[in-house]
Amino acid sequence: MIDLHIHSEYSDGSWNPREIVEDSIKKGLKIISITDHDVLAGYEEALFYRNNSLKIIPGIELNTDGPLGELHILGYNFDPEHPSLKEHVLWRVEDRLQWGKRIVAKLKTLGFNISFGNCLARVGKGVLVRTHIADELVAAGYFHNSKQAYEELLKKGKPGFEERGTFSAVDAIKLIHEAGGLAFLAHPGMYKHDFNVHHLIDSGLDGIEVYHSKHTKKDQDYWRGLAVDRNLLISGGSDFHGPESRNPFPIGSVEIEDPQILAWFGNMVP
């Protein structure tokens, strides 16, 4: 069993790396990847808790926006110490802080009086994400739950949305390759806007996350067919964020026993 898409408390997950590793070992998983948004600290900490039965592949989920719209690019088996990747992570942490300040300022003009300091206090060890702001909106009594706050106010096209610093999906592919890794399009069935996946492929995309907790059978079949047709690699995972999160699907809950995956992930484990 494998799970190549897991989030920790270092981005918008609620579990710490030790809990993730212990749960993975308990369930008999053989390989996992902690793919936090724009940070590597969760992966780095998890290495202290693994044992010989569990391998942990370096992973990251890069948030991007640009001509193709807002897309997420998963990176695997890169050099975690690569200078370009380290520089990007540091830049993105600061960029997210300034972005969060702009969101909170905009929310105040819309009548949602929340504190940026309170949002920041929710970050803990990780980086600021919209979930932290959504949680603060709930705590202030404006919404019943963070999913509602996110869907009605914070996602792209909604009144409280703010653009992050410029970094496109093609930029993400180039960065992952520069660090020696493989770049995958995350959860393609979840995007609500049309985008030219062939442009990503022509730009060097290595694979597609075919198996995902929110993909329908139709999504899975379509994206697997495309991956096979274009000779791309295939990945998959639960996208676990925590039992009480908007992505509560348990670690290891997505079946990805696929020869297309078995063909590559076994060669990626140090």
Structure confidence at residue 270 as a pLDDT band (50, 70, 90): very low
**Rounded distance between C-alpha atoms, residue 103 and residue 188, angstroms:** 26
For the residues 106-116, what does the mean pLDDT come to?
A: 96
CB 25 within 8 A of CB 252: no
* pLDDT confidence of residue 125: 78
Structure confidence at residue 259 as a pLDDT band (50, 70, 90): confident
Q: What DSSP letter does each residue of 146-188 carry, written as one string?
A: HHHHIIIIISTTSTT----SSB-HHHHHHHHHHTT-EEEE--G
Three-state SS for 74?
A: strand
Tokens found for residue 172: 């993400």
Residue 42 has pLDDT above 50, yes or no: yes
pLDDT digits (tens, 9 = 90+) for 6-30: 999 999 899 999 999 999 999 999 9
Q: Taking the model in full, what pTM does it have? A: 0.88
**Structural domains for the chain:** 2-80+169-265 (3.20.20.140), 88-154 (1.10.150.650)
Query: How large is the greatest C-alpha to C-alpha distance in the chain, in angstroms?
Result: 53
* pLDDT confidence of residue 257: 72
**Rounded distance between C-alpha atoms, residue 193 and residue 186, angstroms:** 14
pLDDT digits (tens, 9 = 90+) for 153-168: 998 889 999 988 789 9
CB 10 within 8 A of CB 64: no
pLDDT digits (tens, 9 = 90+) for 194-243: 999 999 999 999 999 999 999 999 999 999 999 999 999 999 999 999 99
